[in-house]
Structure 1
Amino acid sequence: MRLPDLEAWAIFASVVEHKSFSAAADTIGLSKATVSKAITRLEAHLGQSLFHRTSRRLALTEAGKPLAEHAARILAEARAAEESANDSASAPTGRVRLAAPMSFGITDIAPLLADFLAAHPGIEIELHLSDARVDIVAEGFDVALRIASLPDSSLRARRLCGITTHIVAAPAYLAARGTPTHPAQLGEHALFGYTNVTGPWRFQRAGEGDVSIRAQGQLSANSGEALVPALVAGLGIALLPSFIIAEHLASGALVEILADWAPPPIGLHLLTPPSPLRPARVEALIAFLSQRLRDAR
């Protein structure tokens, strides 16, 4: 049986990562001709083109797109195996790429990283903050934190804790528009939407069926934090997690409504690529975050 051309797969992954034959060649210390020959060799073996090549840009073909994820996984596992062997003889070193939601990353993750870096002076953290759902494998992240009700996935996921959410509005809004006493009444109000979460708002109460409401209003945003100023100004109602609105609830700038109706539970999850092989530096960060975030909210 012919063995897979692992070198070509690794070079393919590097070209995808750097979006250039030349940049990949420079990074991995090979000539551009060697990189090009490896891609040609892999394409010949697979019987299909992996890239659209023009003088100005390089883009994956439709056949190449799913294979790029496999290639990234092959390269990541090989690196992890080598690094694991090296790390066993010394303290963890190197860079860890961590993705986290924007607001939660600022309020809860960034303060923790100071403690982690002080305890592990050889480790570097590259923190990527975004409320968009990143592709961990394709974008090369070692660890991602995600607040959601997770669907089935090939990723390895660990639930760290629950995240509470609340329906909130400013007292001025409720004084002017009235306070809903049932989720069905929300349809008569200005509801601010969080665009990174698709689908309707859902509510549950013991002894009653589920209620679903589609959020519609003057404002929607891909960051929950961006909805707060308009909420405080009395312009609408929003469904937001406690880490975004806790301060405003404490000050009275916002108040909770429909407290006896619970949105479906969501959790804070730690995700990693499918491979169980991870460098010691990544294992160190996972252990730290798992311990420190168990009771985050």
Structure 2
Amino acid sequence: MGNWEGLNEFVAVAETGSFTDAARKLGISTAQVSRQVKALESRLSTRLFYRTTRRVSLTEVGQVYYQHCRQLLEGLADAERAVTDLQQAPRGRLRLTAPVTYGETTLAPLVHDFALRYPELQVEMALTNQKLDLVAEGFDLAVRLGKLDDSSMMARRLASRTLYVCASPDYLSTYGEPRSLAELARHNCLLGTLDYWRFREQGRAKNIRISGSIRCNSGRALVDAALKGMGIVQLPDYYVDEALQSGRLVSLLEPYREQDDGIWGIYPHNRHLSPKVRMLLDYLGTHLGK
């Protein structure tokens, strides 16, 4: 054990205030505890405890040494738990929440594949566009899109998403293609929940206020309107990728495209992440990043 020898005994005496109680806590003899502490003091060339017939208390040096030893032993315990967790299969209930469309089209299939690997795992998914309170409502994990605003949670970036501005070839043949942000003012822009679209101009983020004849809080509905030539739309990649690849939609204003957003795994601030959550995050990070 080298320099680790005697640390458990020293910490036990410091915390119980008794060699006898420390021995009972460690399941060894009082003589062994005393011997190890004396050897430690000899190695350090200092006294760690004041000893009387009634009580044992830390010296000033002993108090400083105890604080460091406590952290070392806690770190060792964390390391041992991490190794043990790596050998454990996920089991029990795992509750997660995610936005509706992204959850339906992208996340749920991956979570189902993960659950098939571990039959002892019971998964509960709540797909909602509301930001639920993970702690109050008992969720292990949330998948969130875009910029984060909750600093009380731990966050892990799983992937990125790209915002596209696009329109159908029919719309562009009738109304022309906008070449600058200013030209959006003369186009019919299909609105979601916001009155502006996000861009980047000369290295800076820029929001452009837009207007149009259609407003809807469903990305799928806005895609349908865009495919029918009703206007221009700005939506994340998972709504429009297929239509862009098939040519049914055309990407516009690419020099002004906003930087990619994050796709995040959010979980309560725990010192030690459970194996089921950690392994699902690893799985999602691997597959969403492809």
Q: TM-score, normalised by structure 1?
A: 0.63
Q: Cα deviations across residues 15-45 of structure 1 (Å, max 9, x unaligned)?
A: xxxxxxxxxxxxxxxxxxxxxxxxxxxxxxx
2:196 alignment partner in structure 1: 200
Look up the match of 2:73: none
1:260 paired to 2:258: no
2:282 counterpart of 1:284: no
Rg larger in structure: 2
Paired position in structure 1 for 2:12:
none
Corresponding position of 2:214: 219
SS of the residue corresponding to residue 220 of structure 1 reads coil
Please state whether the residue corresponding to 1:192 is helix, strand or coil. Answer: coil
Q: Deviations over 1:95-154 (max 9, x none)?
A: 111112222222222221232112111001111222333332333221111111223521
> Unpaired runs of 5+ in structure 1?
1-83
Secondary structure, counterpart of 2:115 in structure 1:
helix
Distance 1:193 1:140 in 2: 34
Distance in 2 between residues matched to 1:214 and 1:287, nearest whole Å:
38
Question: d(CA) in 2 for partners of 1:186 and 1:234?
Answer: 16
Answer yes or no: is 1:238 the counterpart of 2:238: no
Q: What is the aligned counterpart of 1:158 among 156, 159, 170?
A: 156
Residue 171 (str. 1) matches residue 166 (str. 2): no
Q: Offset of 1:264 from its aligned partner?
A: 3.5
What is the rounded CA distance, in whole Å, between the counterparts of 1:132 and 1:184 in structure 2?
A: 33
Quick one: structure 1 residues 152 and 94, their matched pair in 2 at CA, closer, same or farther if it must change by over 3 Å?
Answer: closer
1:263–1:277 Cα change, 3 Å:
same
Name the structure 2 match of 1:142. Answer: 140
Contact 1:202 / 1:264 at 8 angstroms: preserved in 2?
A: no
CA 1:91–1:153 in 2, change beyond 3 Å: closer, same or farther? same
% identical aligned pairs = 38
Contact persistence 2:166–2:233 (CA under 8 A): yes
Moved more, 157-166 or 216-225: 216-225
Provide the secondary structure at the position in 2 that maps to 1:260: helix
Could you report, residue by residue, the CA deviation over 1:242-289 in whole angstroms, capped at 9, with x for unpaired residues? 111111112221111111111243111110112334433223322222
Distance in 2, matches of 1:177 and 1:151, equals 39
Structure 1 CA distance, aligned partners of 2:139 and 2:132? 9
Change over 3 Å in CA distance of 1:133–1:199 after alignment to 2: farther
SS at 2:190 equivalent: strand
Offset of residue 206 of structure 1: 4.0
Match of 2:98 in 1: 100
Rounded to whole Å, the distance in 1 between the matches of 2:247 and 2:214 is 22
User: Match for 1:110 among 74, 87, 108?
Assistant: 108
1:124-135 residue pairs with structure 2 within 5 A?
Answer: 124-135=122-133
Shift of 1:218: 2.5
Paired letter, 2:241:
A
Equivalent AA in structure 2 for residue 170 of structure 1: S
Counterpart in the other structure of 1:188:
186
Separation in structure 2 between the aligned mates of residue 182 and residue 231 of structure 1, nearest angstrom: 20
Structure 2 contact 195–211 (Cα < 8 Å) conserved: no
How much does 1:169 deviate?
0.8
Cα deviations by residue, 1:183-229 (Å, 9 ceiling, x for unpaired)? 1211222222232xx5632322447x654212322223333122111
Hey, what's the Cα distance between the residues in 2 that align with 1:276 and 1:216?
A: 47
- Which amino acid letter does the alignment assign opposite residue 190 of structure 1? N
Question: Whole-Å Cα distance in 1 between the matches of residues 187 and 131 of structure 2?
Answer: 29
Whether the 8 Å CA contact 2:220–2:239 is kept in 1: the answer is: yes
**TM-score, normalising length from structure 2?**
0.64
Pair 139,225 (structure 1): closer, same or farther in 2 beyond 3 Å? farther
Pair 220,139 (structure 1): closer, same or farther in 2 beyond 3 Å: farther
1:61-80 alignment runs, 5 A limit? none
What letter matches 2:275 in structure 1? Answer: A
Q: Could you say if the C-alpha distance between residues 132 and 219 of structure 1 is closer, same or farther in structure 2, counting changes exceeding 3 Å?
A: farther
Structure-1 separation of matches of 2:258 and 2:235: 10
Cα distance in 1 between the residues matched to 2:214 and 2:244 = 21
Q: Distance in 1 between matches of 2:152 and 2:268?
A: 8
